[in-house]
Structures are given as C-alpha cells and as structure tokens.
Amino acid sequence: MNEVTQSIQMECERRLTNLYNESYSWLIQTANKVTRNKLESEDLTMELFEYLHTKCNPKLFWGKTSYNLQYCAKFLHHRYLNKTKKLNRTTYVAEIWDTELDIPYDTEKDLEIQKAYDDVMEELRHLEKTKMWASSKLLVCIGVRKRHWKKLVKI
C-alpha cells in the first residue's frame, strides 16, 4: 500500500469510529423506521458500516470527523428496498413427488444386447480370415452402429 491509500484508509477508520460513537443510535432508529424490525435494522446498520469500510470513499466524508448522514439514511432505505424486491422476485416451488414407480433396470436385456454385440464382433473377427476381410475390417473400423449400417446398405 502506498502512503495515499494508507492515509485514506486511516481517515476512513477514524470517521467510522466517530460515526459509530456519535450516530449509531440515530442510524438504528432510521433503519427501524424503514424495516419495522429491530434485528433487521441492526443487520442493515452493520451492512452500512461494512460498506463504508470496504469502499472507503472520500466523497462520502462530511465535515472533519464523520460521514454524510443523509447518504447513510438513503443507503439504509435503498438497501432494504432492494432486499425486499429481491425476496419478492424469488418464487418458491413446492417439491413435486413423482407418483410413478421407478422402472427397475433390466439386466437380462442388457446381457442379451451385450451377447449379441459380442457375437457380431466374433463373426467379424472370423470374416477377417476369409476373402471378406476388407468388409469385415471396414465394419470394425466404422463400428457397429445403426446409422452406419444404413449408410453401408446404400453402398
């Protein structure tokens, strides 16, 4: 950190301390007018302090020792409105339970398909040893897929 940012950071910390000591109760009351809930107003006020600490914007300074209180009040008001708008936009969908029973995995069919694939591959390996070795190699390279079979039938 260079000297300028360090001095601004120290000034922000000093002003935050003064804001807390001098205006905390007023900020809580202002937030309470907006939220009508004590816990929410405390959370909102802490968000204000956190925001002022992280941003550390000299344009928000007021006088020689504090922050602009009107800005702080507007921040509390708008932050609360933005939160409520966001919560109102969120729609909660009830969980939908599937009434159909899960179909169990058919291992017998799977084994039959695997056996048929193995038989085809075995036949292709057998054809490699005969005069039809070119066709067999072609089928092995292309793979035994339905769409490729349609292409080969057209040939």
- What pLDDT does 14 receive? 86
- Residue range 53-76: average pLDDT? 84
Weakest mean pLDDT among 9-13, 54-58, 145-149 = 145-149
> What is d(CA 83, CA 31) in angstroms, rounded to the nearest whole number?
13
- Residue range 7-11: average pLDDT? 81
Mean of all residue pLDDT scores within the chain:
80
96: left (phi over 0), alpha (psi -120 to 50) or beta: beta
Please give the CATH architecture assigned to the domain spanning 3-89: Orthogonal Bundle (1.10)
pTM of model > 0.85:
no
Query: Residue ranges per domain, the chain?
Result: 3-89, 107-154
Weakest mean pLDDT among 5-9, 22-26, 75-79 = 5-9
**How many residues would you count in the chain?**
155
Quote the strand ranges of 37-83, DSSP E: 61-62, 66-67
